[in-house]
Amino acid sequence: MVGYELLFRGNADALTATSRNAFATSQVIVTAFTEFGLDQLVGDRPCFVNLTREFLVGELPVPFDYGQTVLEVLESVPIDDEVVAGVERLIDSGYTIALDDFEWSAQSARLMPMATYVKIDMLETDAAEIASTVKRCREYPNIELVAERLETEERLGLAFELGFDLFQGHILGRPHVISSRGLSPSRLKRLELLTTLTSDDADIKDVVEIVTADAALSFRVLRATNNAASGMTNRVSSIQQAVVLLGMRRIREWVALMLISDVCEASEDQLSNTMIRARLCQTVAEHLGLSGASGFTVGLLSGVAELVGEPLAEIADRLPLTEEVALALQTGGGRLGEVLQTVRAYERVDLHTLGRASIDSMELATAYLAALGWSARTFADLGEPGRQN
């Protein structure tokens, strides 16, 4: 194994590349470098990534250092002066270039002095044409020839006979689809906003600034507030009015639900269960003389971790949480940790753990029913998908 090629797949069941445009390239780059990490995918081996014209000419940036990455010039890119100049700039910056599905022409030959790898299609190209192309490429001592799309023993033998340096294709190994449900930076930022909203010391100004920074969020808050205030003479016309009318606690709960539904691709039932847990943690915390807002945050983030499939401790490490909240999420320690353990035990009907709780089962049952009703009302007010107003 010499290196890997990263290709776009529209879904986990796709066996072939469904798209090779700028969007596909962007998805591959963002996912490989920011969600998986290149070391996890390819170790210390070379990593081949397709680039479209937009990246080659500088209309879109290549957002990573040259390092071990090989930039493939797709066969669909017309080789004009602008592309040649763009490739020269990438070479000068230290990047390595490969020519993908290479066919000899006066235009494509312009990139030969700058390329390190030339990949030749072995599946659909005539054997005589392959031999002719190999002979011409051998005039450039800087080139390593890659036989790609090898799918039969006969073509693999031809590739060896013609003296290719590297070999790629299904006869040697099938592609592996790798997927993840990790939190993207934008989703993590929304969780940061969430922790601000659910803190005890957040004030109206903080809430208004956070909500108004997101146009879609502003619209949804106003819609939700107007729905709830339909019996009033005056309808609200601003975020400021909405927060004052309903009070900090209510508006924070609504915004928390909206943010969490954007962060997690989950069903209404899953979101509802998460919000019930958060509300129940809030009630139990207040019963124990602790901060209700902190209890809500602990319950909410524990539910988020389950929905996105990430370890709770890792999410807690990446958010600006108070020491007490972080401890509860990372190790289950502290009094807020006791709150979360009690609520989780109630969800599992774990009677042994509940027997050690600081609140009896009847009180928990009452609090749970209250949280269930609150969650149903909140979803109805927000007009979430699946509900009719």
Q: Whole-prediction pTM value?
A: 0.49
Average pLDDT over residues 321-338: 90
Does residue 155 lie within any of the structural domains? yes
pLDDT mean over 135-149: 95
Whether residue 268 is predicted with pLDDT greater than 80 in this model: the reply is no
Shared-domain flag, residues 197 and 162: no
**268 in the same domain as 200:** yes
Which residues touch 194 (CB under 8 Å, ≥6 apart)? 255, 256, 259, 260, 297, 300
Rounded distance, CA 248 to CA 306, Å? 27
**Cβ 134 vs Cβ 145: under 8 Å:** yes
Provide mean pLDDT across the span 270-282. 86
124 and 26 fall within a common domain = yes
**Domain-embedded: residue 172:** no
The answer on 120 and 38 residing in a single domain is: yes
More confident residue, 250 or 316: 316
Residue 218 φ/ψ, nearest 5 degrees: -60, -45
> pLDDT tens across 204-222, in order?
777 777 666 655 566 566 6
What is the per-residue burial (b if ≥16 Cβ within 10 Å, else e) of 336-358? bbbbbbbbbbbeeeeeeebeebe
pLDDT at residue 192 tops 90: no
In a domain, 388, yes or no: no
Domain end position, chosen among 139, 167, 195? 167
Higher per-residue confidence, 100 vs 318 = 100
- Residue-level pLDDT at 13: 44
Distance CA 276, CA 377 (A): 12
Between CA 315 and CA 222 the distance in angstroms is 30
- CB-based contact 245:221 (threshold 8 Å): no
Site of tokens 């051998």? 138
Taking residues 16-23, report their average pLDDT. 50
**Residues 373 and 270 occupy one common structural domain:** yes
Give the pLDDT confidence score for residue 367 in this predicted structure: 85
Query: How many domains does the structure of the chain reveal?
Result: 2
- pLDDT greater at residue 346 or residue 378: 346
The CATH number covering residue 81 comes to 3.20.20.450
Residue 389 lies inside a defined structural domain of this protein: no
Write down the mean pLDDT value for the chain: 78
Same domain, 271 and 158: no
> Of 102, 375, 93, 125, which is closest to residue 261 (Cα–Cα)?
375
Same domain, 204 and 127: no
Residue 23 and residue 282: Cα distance in Å, rounded? 43
> Residue 103: what residue type?
E
Mean pLDDT to the nearest integer, 86-102: 95
Residues 161 and 191 in one domain: no
Is residue 179 domain-resident? Answer: no
**What ranges in 264-322 are assigned the alpha helix state H?**
268-287, 292-308, 312-317
Confidence band for 19, pLDDT divided at 50, 70 and 90:
very low
Point out the domain boundary residue: 124, 139, 167.
167
Confidence of residue 262 (pLDDT cuts 50, 70, 90): low
Non-local (6+) Cβ contacts of 183 within 8 A are: 191, 263, 308, 310, 315, 318
Q: Between 173 and 258, where is the model more confident?
A: 173
The answer to whether residue 197 scores a pLDDT higher than 80 is no
What confidence score (pLDDT) does residue 105 get?
Answer: 93
Count of Cβ atoms closer than 10 Å to residue 327 Cβ: 18
Does 245 lie in the same domain as 101? no
In the sheet where 96-99 sits, what is the strand order? 4-6, 47-51, 69-73, 96-99, 117-121, 144-148, 166-167
Residues 10 and 66 placed together within one structural domain of the fold: yes
Q: Which of 167, 201, 219 is the last residue of a domain?
A: 167
Q: Do 217 and 78 have their domain in common?
A: no
The residue segments making up the domain with residue 197 are 185-382
Among the ranges 117-121, 264-268, 383-387, which has the highest mean pLDDT value?
117-121
Residue with tokens 């290479």: 102
Q: Does 22 fall in a domain?
A: yes
362: domain CATH number is: 1.10.3210.10
Q: Are 155 and 26 found together in one domain?
A: yes
Query: Is 177 inside a domain boundary?
Result: no
Domain assignment present for residue 152? The answer is yes
The answer, yes or no, to whether residue 242 has pLDDT greater than 50, is yes
Q: Residue 191 has what pLDDT?
A: 64
pLDDT value at 359 more than 80? no
If pLDDT is split at 50, 70 and 90, which confidence band does 78 have?
very high
